[in-house]
Structure 1
Amino acid sequence: MIWIEFAIMLTAILVGSQMKGIGLGVMGMVALMIFILVFKMRPTDPPLDVMLIILSIVTTAAALQAAGGLDYLVGVAEKIIRSKPSQIVFIGPFTVFFLCLFAGTSHIVYSLLPIISEVSAKKRIRPERPLSMSVIASHLALTSSPMSAATAAMTAILAYPGAQKNILMVCIPASLIGVFVGCLSVLKMGKDLDKDPEFQKKMQDPAFAADIDKDSGSAERKYKPGAKTSVAIFGIAILLIIIAGAFPQLIPSYGPGEENFSITENGTLRMGTIIEIVTLSAAAAIMLITKTSAVDVTKASLFNSMASAVVSVFGVVWMAATFMHHNESSIKHALGDITTQHPWTFAIAVFAMGMLTFSQAATTKTMMPLGVVLGIPAPQLIAMFPAVNSDFVLPGYPTLLAAINFDKTGSTHIGKFVVNHSFMRGGLITIAVTIAMGFLFASLLL
C-alpha cells in the first residue's frame, strides 16, 4: 500500500512541477484529498510556520526592492563584478552568493546574470562557466542566510537554543569552500570562445559582434532617495535575527506553561515568531522612513512571487508531511538501520526530494523532521542541510532558464538528454563538497 501512496505523491509532485508556479501547491492538495478520502489518512497540521515566515521575509524584501535598496545592492555588486573581468568565473559566483546571503532570496540573481554574461563575452571567457556557478551559488546562499525561509524552517525544526547560530557557523564556511571548488570544476568547462566554432560563426555577423562588444557599463546608476537607508534597515533586521539566534537568553521568557504557535512549552518565543516580528517591523520602518507606499511594495516583483511560494509550500508540504506521518513506522524501519550506521545517506534522500519540489523551504519542512524522527543528530542534519539545493538537476527552475536566455553566445544550454546541462557539473560538485565540509565543520565546531 505504501508504494501506491508514494506513487500518488510522486505523480502529484512531477505533474505540479511541470505546471510551474502554484502547480506544486494545487497538485499537492489533490494528492492530499486522495490520501484523506481513499486511504483514510489523518492529515497533519499544515505548514503554517513556514508559510508565515515566507510571507514575512519576502514582504520585507519587497519593501527593500520598492525603496530602491535592491537596485543599490545590485549596483554595488556590478562594480565588484566589473572590477576584475578576467576573474569573472570566481568573482561572479561569489558576488552573487554574498548578495543572496544578505537578501535571503535567489531571485536577485536575475539582475546580475546579464552583467556576468556581458563581462564574460567581452573577455572571451565562456559565459557558461560563471553563469552556471552563479546560479548554483544563488541557491546555496539560501541554506546559509538568516533571512531565508529555508534556514528559518530548519531552525524551527531543530528547535533548540542557538540552532540558528550553529547552522550559520557550519553552512557559511562549508558553502564558501563548496562554491570555490565548484568554480574550479568549471574553469575549463567547454571550449574557450576564441576556439568555439559556433561563437566564431556568430561573430561574422556585424550586428552580433557589435552587440557583444558594446560598452554598456559606463552609465551611472541613479537610485531612489531612500535606497541606502532601506539597505541599512534591512541589515539591522538581519543583525537582530542573528543576535536572537546566537543569544537566546536575551529573548523574553514567560515561564513554563501551555505552548502555542508563538511560544514553546518552556515559555520562550519560537524563532519563527522572532523572525516574523523583526522582518515585518523592518518592512514598516523601511516604508515609514523612506516614504515608500504600501502600494509600491505590493507591486514589487518579489511580493508577487510570494503568493506562488506560499501556495506551493502549503500544498506540497502538507501532502508530504501527511504521507510521512501515516507511514512513519514503515519509513523508520526501512531507513533506520542505514541512517544509523551511515547518516550521510540521508542526504541522498533529501537531495532527491529537492529535485522534485523545486523549493528549499518545502524540502526542508518535508525531510528534516523525518531526519529527527530517524534519530540523526542535529549537527549531522545541519551538515546535510545544503542537500535541499538540488533544484538545478531538472532544468526547469527560473534562475537556470534565465541564465540560458541571458547568454547571448549560446554556451549555456540544456543538453540533448535534458540532464546533461550546463549546471550539472558545478552543481553536483558544489553540493557534494559543501556537505562533506559541513560534516567536518560540524564535528569541529558543534
Structure 2
Amino acid sequence: MILQLAFVLTAIIVGARLGGIGLGVMGGVGLAILTFGFGLQPTAPPIDVMLMIAAVISAASCMQAAGGLDYMVKLAEKLLRKNPSHVTILSPIVTYLFTFVAGTGHVAYSVLPVIAEVATETKIRPERPLGIAVIASQQAITASPISAATVALLGLLAGFDITLFDILKITIPATIIGVLAGAFFSMRVGKELVDDPEYQKRIAEGLIKEHKVTIKDVQNKRHALVSVLIFILATIFIVFFGSFEGMRPSFLIDGEIVTLGMSSIIEIVMLSAAALILLFTKTDGLKATQGSVFPAGMQAVIAIFGIAWMGDTFLQGNMGELTQSIEGFVREMPWLFGIALFIMSILLYSQAATVRALMPLGIALGISPYMLIAMFPAVNGYFFIPNYPTVVAAINFDRTGTTKIGKYVLNHSFMMPGIVSTVVAIVLGLLFIQIY
C-alpha cells in the first residue's frame, strides 16, 4: 500500500506542476499504474460530478458571454469607489458574492485590479484587501450551492438523507463569519502604505504613476441583467429542490416511487439556464466557450476525471488496511481528518477534487456526516503555496509591491488571512452542528 500511495502522491505533485489539465491527465497515469502495475480494479469514474460541473460552467460561460459578469464587476466597482475607506471589508464581501453566485472562484479576476487601485488611491495598503479578497473567493466555494465541491459533497452524503440546505445552513454562516474575521485581521497587516519601504522605493524610482483601471462598459445592459437574473433564478431553483425533496419529480419504477436525484436536477436546470440566456440575449454560443470561465471550468472537469478516479481506486483497493490503521485515531480525534483535507487540498489545488478523493474515506471511517460538513471549509487550503492563479494575479495587480511572496515562500500575503478564515469557519461549523 505504501508503494501505491507513493505513486499516487507523485502523480498529484507532477500534475500540479504541469498546470492546466496536467493534474487530471497525471491522475490517469497514476490510475494506469494502480490498475496494470498493482492489479487494483478501477472504480466507476465520477461521471455525475463531471456532468454537473459541465452544466454549471455552461450556464456561467453563457452569462459571461452575455455581459453578465461585466455587469456584476461594474456594480462592484461603483460600490468600492463610493466607499474607498472600507475597501478591506467590502472587497472580500464582493469576491465572496461573485463566487457564491457563479460557483467558481475564477470570476474574482475581474475585480482584483479595481480593489488594488481603490486601495492605492486611498493610501490603504493594497495587501490588506487583496489578500483577504482572494481568500474570500476560495471560501465561498464551500458555501455556493452550485460549486463543484458542494455538489460533490452532496452526492457523497445523499445516502445519509443530507439535503443541500443541511450543508448550506452550516457552511454559509461559518464561511461568511470566517471571511469577516480574516478581513478584520487584515486591517492590521503590515505597515501603513506611506510608511512601507518598498512603496517609498518605488515612488522614489518613479515606478508608481497615475494609473486608472478602466472596466469595459457593458455593451447591452438589458441583456447582461437578463443573463444574471436567469442564472440567479436557476440557482434558487436548485437550492429549492435540494432543500425540499418532496418537491422533486418522482417516478414509479418497478412498483417503487423513485425521486429524481439532485445531480440530474442540477444538470437539467443549468443546461436550461444556459439555453435561456443564449435565446433571450441573442448571444453567440461560440462566444461562451471563448471567455475565461469555460476553460477554467473544463480544467476542473478533467482534474476530477483523473484525480478522483485514481483516488477512488486507491481508497477502495486499500480500504480495509486504511480503516484498520487509522480508525482508532480518527474516532478519538475526528478533527484530524480536517487536517488531512487541508493538506490534500494543498496538493490537489481543487476543492472538488479533494472532496471526491478524501471524503469517501471519512465516510468509511464512520465520521458523522455533519462533522464532515463542519470540516468542509478545510478543503480551501490551496492558498498555502502561493502559486494559484488568483493569488498570482493579485500579486501582479498590486503596483505598490505590498502584496508579495516572502523570502521564505510561505510567509506570503495570503497565509494569515487564509489560516484565520479557514480555522474560524471550521470552528463555527463544529459549533453550528451542535446547535442545529
**TM-score > 0.5 by shorter chain:** yes
CA distance in 2, matches of 1:269, 1:218: 43
User: 8 Å contact 2:67–2:219 — kept in the other structure?
Assistant: no
CA distance in 2, matches of 1:417, 1:70: 36
Instruction: Decide which moves more: 56-65 or 98-107.
Output: 98-107
Give the 3 Å change call, closer, same or farther, for CA 219–247 of structure 1 in structure 2: closer
Q: Does 1:234 align with 2:231?
A: yes
Partner of 2:191: 191
User: 8 Å contact 1:93–1:135 — kept in the other structure?
Assistant: yes
1:302 to 281, 285, 293: 293
Deviations 1:60-89 (A, max 9, x none): 000000111111111111112222111111
| Secondary structure of the corresponding residue to residue 295 of structure 2 | helix
Deviation of 1:206 (Å)? 4.5
User: 8 Å contact 1:360–1:389 — kept in the other structure?
Assistant: yes
* AA matched with 1:163: T
Deviation of 1:7 (Å)? 0.9
User: 8 Å contact 1:62–1:300 — kept in the other structure?
Assistant: yes
Provide structure 2 residue ranges, at least 5 long, that are not aligned to the other structure: none
Deviation of 1:161 (Å)? 4.3
CA distance in 1, matches of 2:35, 2:146: 35
User: 8 Å contact 1:257–1:267 — kept in the other structure?
Assistant: no
| Secondary structure of the corresponding residue to residue 191 of structure 1 | coil
Q: Does 1:247 align with 2:247?
A: no
Deviation of 1:209 (Å)? 3.2
Partner of 1:145: 144
Q: Does 1:366 align with 2:365?
A: no
| Secondary structure of the corresponding residue to residue 267 of structure 1 | strand
Give the 3 Å change call, closer, same or farther, for CA 42–408 of structure 1 in structure 2: same
* AA matched with 2:412: H
Q: Does 1:274 align with 2:271?
A: no
* AA matched with 1:286: I
Partner of 1:208: 208
2:276 to 281, 285, 292: 285
| Secondary structure of the corresponding residue to residue 331 of structure 1 | helix
* AA matched with 1:249: G
User: TM-score normalized by structure 2?
Assistant: 0.96
Provide structure 1 residue ranges, at least 5 long, that are not aligned to the other structure: 259-264
Paired positions, count: 435
Q: Does 1:398 align with 2:394?
A: no
Deviation of 1:167 (Å)? 0.8
CA distance in 2, matches of 1:411, 1:266: 60
Deviations 1:378-434 (A, max 9, x none): 111110111111111111210111101111111111122222211111111110110
Give the 3 Å change call, closer, same or farther, for CA 37–221 of structure 1 in structure 2: closer
Deviation of 1:310 (Å)? 1.4
Partner of 2:46: 47
Partner of 1:261: none
User: Alpha carbon RMSD of aligned pairs, Å?
Assistant: 1.7
Partner of 2:176: 176
* AA matched with 2:208: F
User: 8 Å contact 1:391–1:397 — kept in the other structure?
Assistant: yes
Deviation of 1:235 (Å)? 1.0
User: 8 Å contact 1:72–1:223 — kept in the other structure?
Assistant: no
Deviation of 1:335 (Å)? 2.1
| Secondary structure of the corresponding residue to residue 299 of structure 1 | coil
Alignment of 1:150-169 (within 5 A): 150-159=149-158, 160-169=160-169
CA distance in 2, matches of 1:199, 1:156: 49
2:428 to 437, 443, 446: 437
Give the 3 Å change call, closer, same or farther, for CA 86–257 of structure 1 in structure 2: farther
Partner of 1:34: 33
